Amino acid sequence: MPQIFKRPTSLKDVQTHFCSGCHHGTIHRLVAEAMDEFGVQGRAIGIASVGCSVFLYSYFDIDVVEAPHGRAPAVATGVKRARPGSFVFTYQGDGDLAAIGTSEIIHAANRGEDITVIFVNNTTYGMTGGQMAPTTMVGQRTSTSPYGRMKEKDGAPLRMAELLAQLEGVSFSARVAVNSPRNLMDAKKQIKTAFRYQVEGKGFSFIEALSACPTNWGMKPLQANERVGTELCDYFRLGVYKNIMEL
């Protein structure tokens, strides 16, 4: 019987530490599938960030460098400039990329580094116990916004896919979600496009993936999944914000 579904070669055959209902695992899988499809596993160098995805090397069967919190785009810059033939991607959470690492992401993007950034937006600091993130929704209660995020005091959630799309150096920027089969298929397609930019040496590509964190949202997995499709998708609109070559 022909096999129609299998574990991507770029993923290891191990159990993940992610909570049930967490989307990190699904996003890992899509990234691994896309790597397999482009045949880049052997020359891939992943840059792990600090957050729930820090164990990138435990799940992906590729070379990995672990970056300090927020600095993955700078580390990726050093890696890619030193080894232009490699396939380099960062995998970062919203605290990592949109708070402590805003300087590094903006400038790597603006330089048009030939790398891909996978940005996982779960509107909270997952690893440290659900504190407020720069992407936390207005009104959302977290362990450091017990009365809900206040726009007047905390600012409004940052929309990174739109923000980065404005930079000249960015070739591709899209926001995706993996909460439904339809969104998942589309997410796969956009991740592949982002990778194609790098494989063809066409510059900086950015994927923002909305992601559920049931543990820190205080929700059941199904509820959390639903929140992504409703509340999050309402503010963080899915779509392609930049695609300079229409790849």
Ligand X SMILES: Cc1ncc(C[n+]2csc(CCOP(=O)(O)OP(=O)(O)O)c2C)c(N)n1
Q: Which residues bind another protein (CB under 8 A)?
A: 41-45, 47-48, 54, 57, 61-68, 71, 74-83, 86-87, 103-104, 106-107, 111
Q: Which two tokens stand for residue 32?
A: 């691994």
Please state the closest distance from residue 124 (CB atom) to ligand SF4, in A: 7
Q: Which is nearer to ligand SF4, 213 or 228 (CB)?
A: 213
CA dihedral over 162, 57, 50, 73, signed as positive or negative: negative
Site string for ligand SF4, 92-131 (x = CB under 6 A): ------------------------------x---xx----
232 interacts with ligand X by CB under 6 A: no
19 binds, among ligand SF4, another protein, ligand X, none (CB under 5 to 8 A by kind): ligand SF4
Angstrom distance (rounded) from CA 81 to CA 73: 12
Please state the closest distance from residue 78 (CB atom) to ligand SF4, in A: 27
22 binds, among another protein, ligand X, ligand SF4, none (CB under 5 to 8 A by kind): ligand SF4
Residue type, 70: G
Residue type, 181: P
Q: Which two tokens stand for residue 64?
A: 């990995």
130 interacts with ligand X by CB under 6 A: no
Q: Which is nearer to ligand SF4, 23 or 159 (CB)?
A: 23
Please state the closest distance from residue 218 (CB atom) to another protein, in A: 26
DSSP lists the bridge partners of residue 116 as 89, 205
DSSP lists the bridge partners of residue 125 as 131
28 interacts with ligand SF4 by CB under 6 A: no
Site string for ligand X, 164-183 (x = CB under 6 A): --------------------
Residues 6 or more apart whose Cβ sits within 8 Å of residue 90: 46, 47, 49, 67, 72, 73, 75, 76, 115, 116, 117, 118
203 interacts with ligand SF4 by CB under 6 A: no
Q: Which two tokens stand for residue 26?
A: 């699904």
- Tell me the backbone φ, ψ of residue 12, rounded to 5 degrees: -85, 160
103 binds, among another protein, ligand X, ligand SF4, none (CB under 5 to 8 A by kind): another protein
Long-range contacts of 41-46 (CB under 8 A, 24+ apart): 41/9, 41/10, 43/85, 43/86, 43/87, 44/10, 44/86, 44/87, 44/88, 44/89, 45/79, 45/83, 45/86, 45/87, 45/88, 46/88, 46/89, 46/90, 46/91
Return residues touching ligand SF4 (CB under 6 A).
18-19, 22, 24, 52, 122, 126-127, 213-216
Return residues touching ligand X (CB under 6 A).
50-53, 69, 93-96, 120, 122, 124-128, 133
